Amino acid sequence: MSKLWVRSLYGRQSQKGIVELRHQDWSLQLDTDEARQVALQILECAEAADQDGFLMSFTIEALNLTEAQGADLLTAYRKWRIAQLAKRLAKEANT
């Protein structure tokens, strides 16, 4: 597994905190608000990945569906989940 390093920095020119993400061949510097947004997206994606894994296991093991049927259900679930997220974000933007 490749490694991703994260470290905090201080920007002399901006005189603000900076978060740096570093991988083998690249690095990215984010202001602290951007870093928090990325961190939240990572947590949300990790949760979604766990849900996807659970749903696939459930459809195959408990419902005795084929992997293809489980994948179809997962695709429908992902579309629904994205639509729900869009609704939530739209609602938050209006408040």
Q: Domain boundaries in the chain? A: 40-93
According to the model, what pLDDT value does residue 54 have? 96
According to the model, what pLDDT value does residue 1 have? 59
Mean residue pLDDT of the chain comes to 94
Residue 53 has pLDDT above 70, yes or no: yes
Q: What is the mean pLDDT of residues 7-21?
A: 95
**Mind listing the pLDDT tens digit for each residue in 34-47?**
999 999 999 999 99
Phi (first) and psi of residue 24, to 5 degrees: -50, -50
Whether the model pTM is above 0.85? no
Residues of the chain above pLDDT 90, percent: 82
Q: What is the mean pLDDT of residues 48-54?
A: 94
Q: Is there a contact between 30 and 38 (Cβ–Cβ < 8 Å)?
A: yes
DSSP code at position 24: T
Residues of the chain above pLDDT 70, percent: 99
